[in-house]
Amino acid sequence: MDLDLTFLGTSGSVPTARRGLSGTLLRRGGERMLIDCGEGTQRQLLRSTVGLIELPEVFLTHYHADHYLGLPGMLKTFALRGREMPLTVHGPPGLKDLFGGLQRIFGKLTYPVELVELRDGDVLDRGEYRVLAFRVSHGIAANGYAFAELPRPGRFDLEAARALGVPEGPLFGRLQAGETVEIPGGGEVRADQVLGPPRPGRTVVVTGDTAPAASVLEIAHEADLLVHEATFAEEERERAEETLHSTAAGAAALARAAHVRMLALTHLSNRYFGPEIAREAREVFPETVVPRDFDIIEVRFQERGGPRLVKAGARTAREEVEPRGEHGAGGDGRGSDGGGGDPGDPALGGDPVGASRRGRAAPGGAR
């Protein structure tokens, strides 16, 4: 069963010329779940190899505008296309109040929308996996989400099954499914006689916006992939603490303590290009990547190599591919240590959003 994340928007607070606002698509087999829907998310989907699919579910982490403002437009587009399939939107408490205001924007829809408010500790049972909502530290009602597969059966011992008299065919499948079977000539064979120890499923944890938090450390313990915000570099640690965001080093320290297999840093302030965030984090936790828009992380089973970054994996052939740094850091890093945002971005009054000028907070700040 394939499992991957497509990064549609990796910028924090405001978009840049090369980074859209928060949006991540989780795909598991034929299932599709969108986590956050910042402004322009539907266009990012259209620009990607995924396309604007009939998403069945959206998970919002919190209600700062850069995480949900793309949702009204996408809902309206679905209606204009004549969609009839229901859509479920999940979010922390306050979701119904939010939609009470948004409905004036998108109007009447052609399909039903179910709103599900999830509180800390709520679990959605999906059979082979579960979705766990957990509280993060961002000063408002804000959820992180853990997508955790159940353990898989152990490896099937073909020779042991044959030695016990099990004929090849449907009985093999039933044993692999954990059943006890009757064999020709009488007698039973239990699954534990031909299966090895259970193998772990995969766990992906997406935090949304948060300061480093004990709740994330607990939920992300030994996760295959932790997607954590890194709005600031350590030089702006005081600003990160004021706004309840994380620095790259702070997120990396949490990933190291949680023993995750890979850390992916997103929600970068436009002060940064990406390589300086990657360098800072890797000094603490080497298995760190900083995805750019249209990158994919394939979350493979441990025995198949674990998570792997595929640079520009969702970028269509018609999209121009910009220079890339190593390990998904983005850009070539030249001149980026001082920040300043992506090349071609507007000056924003010379004061990048979320950055401070010699101790004075930037107007608006990071959200």
3-state secondary structure string, the chain? CCEEEEEEECECCCCCCCCCECEEEEEECCEEEEECCCCCHHHHHHHECCCCCCCCEEECCCCCHHHCCCHHHHHHHHHHCCCCCCEEEEECCCHHHHHHHHHHHHCCCCCCEEEEECCCCCEEECCCEEEEEEECECCCCCEEEEEEECCECCCECHHHHHHCCCCCCHHHHHHHCCCCEECCCCCEECHHHCECCCECCCEEEECCCCECCHHHHHHCCCCCEEEEECCECHHHHHHHHHHCCCEHHHHHHHHHHHCCCCEEEECECCCCCCHHHHHHHHCCCCCEECCCCCCEEEECCHHHCCEEEECCCCECCCCCCCCCCHHHCCCCCCCCCCCCCCCCCCCHHHCCCCCCECCECCCCCCC
Q: What is the pLDDT of residue 325?
A: 59
Q: What is the pLDDT of residue 50?
A: 96
Report the alpha-carbon distance of residue 117 to residue 122 in Å, rounded: 9
Provide the whole-model pTM: 0.84
Q: What is the pLDDT of residue 229?
A: 98
Is there a catalytic annotation at residue 224?
no
pLDDT in tens, the chain (367 residues): 999 999 999 999 999 999 999 999 999 999 999 999 999 999 999 999 999 999 999 999 999 999 999 999 999 999 999 999 999 999 999 999 999 999 999 999 999 999 999 999 999 999 999 999 999 999 999 999 999 999 988 888 888 988 888 898 898 888 888 889 998 888 899 988 988 888 999 999 999 999 999 999 999 999 999 999 999 999 999 999 999 999 999 999 999 999 999 999 999 999 999 999 999 999 999 999 999 999 999 999 999 999 999 999 999 977 655 556 555 665 544 333 333 444 443 333 333 333 333 333 333 345 5
Provide the token pair at 97: 């109040």
Q: What is the pLDDT of residue 339?
A: 36
Point out the catalytic residue in the list 36, 66, 224, 295: 66
Report the alpha-carbon distance of residue 61 to residue 32 in Å, rounded: 17
Neighbours of 119 (CB within 10 A): 12
Report the alpha-carbon distance of residue 326 to residue 333 in Å, rounded: 10
Q: What is the pLDDT of residue 360?
A: 35
CB 26 within 8 A of CB 147: yes
In one-letter notation, the amino acid at residue 153 is P
Bridge partners (DSSP) listed for residue 32: 27
Angle, CA of 83, 85 and 89, to the nearest 5°: 105
